[in-house]
Amino acid sequence: GAVVSQHPSRVICKSGTSVKIECRSLDFQATTMFWYRQFPKQSLMLMATSNEGSKATYEQGVEKDKFLINHASLTLSTLTVTSAHPEDSSFYICSARPLVAGHSYEQYFGPGTRLTVT
Amino acid sequence: RKEVEQDPGPFNVPEGATVAFNCTYSNSASQSFFWYRQDCRKEPKLLMSVYSSGNEDGRFTAQLNRASQYISLLIRDSKLSDSATYLCVVNHGDYKLSFGAGTTVTVRA
């Protein structure tokens, strides 16, 4: 159980184009999904927190107009990188927190999407 | 100061050896602590939660020292498959996780 999928796993796009990444919880409902970015040899950095049916909350320094997040259902969140630039090339990982009673801080991670902008 | 700091390593150990490493966190209000494992170019996978009294899961033992604000992970009888980057992860009670940059462990035959 607790499987999260991401699509695509790898994408190469040209500078100036937009790329959409999907994150799905396959066997559970997720109240909250998180989007992270990881540069080589660095830790995961939280970009935004996405709650179903409401606007995402972005971390300081993350441009909300550049990284559009939509969380349309309890099993799907999307991240769209708009007008991509080479410096946006990174490993993008989503995670999902199960809809459970009480407190649970565990998150389940998707396999990640490697974005290369040329 | 980073929220979560780890010795990056690498720790190179022979099979069967014991390896241990720590992580420190800066927020004294942190509530939950985890060790995740990340293989090269893959997503992090939860290895174990860390409880106040310390806990063991097979060959892995985790300890928490709230007074000194550090967490440790000890791996006994290392296997080749234990080679990975181990991420120290802390939660402050708001469901957001803070990650350390990871400690790399390489187990050699």
One-character DSSP codes across B21-74: EEEEES-TT--EEEEEEE-TTS-EEEEEEE-TT-EEETTEEEEEETTTTEEEEE
Q: How far apart are CA B15 and CA B80, in angstroms?
A: 6
- CB-closest option in B43, B95, B99 to A105: B95
Three-state SS at A17: coil
- Separation between Cα atoms, residue B34 and residue B20, nearest integer Å: 15
**Could you read off the pLDDT of A81-101 as tens digits, one per residue?**
999 999 999 999 999 988 764
pLDDT one-digit tens code per residue, A14-36? 999 999 999 999 988 888 899 99
pLDDT band at A102 (very low <50, low <70, confident <90, very high): low
Look up residue B6 and give its DSSP letter: E
Q: Name the minimum distance, in Å, from the CA of B73 to any CA of chain A.
A: 18
Nearest chain A Cα to B31, which residue? A105
Chain B residue with CA closest to A51: the answer is: B95
Give the pLDDT of residue B76.
98
Structure tokens at B11: 């720790």
Residue positions counted in chain B: 109
Partner A, chain B 45-64, Cβ-Cβ below 8 Å = 45-46, 49
Q: Measured between CA atoms, how close is B14 to chain A, in angstroms?
A: 24
The pLDDT confidence band at residue A7, using thresholds 50, 70 and 90, is: very high
A42 contacts B95? CB cut-off 8 A:
no
Q: Are B102 and B42 in contact (CB under 8 A)?
A: no
Nearest Cα of chain A lies from the Cα of B101 at a distance, in angstroms, of 4
B103 in contact with A at a CB cutoff of 8 Å?
no
d(CA A78, CA B38): 23
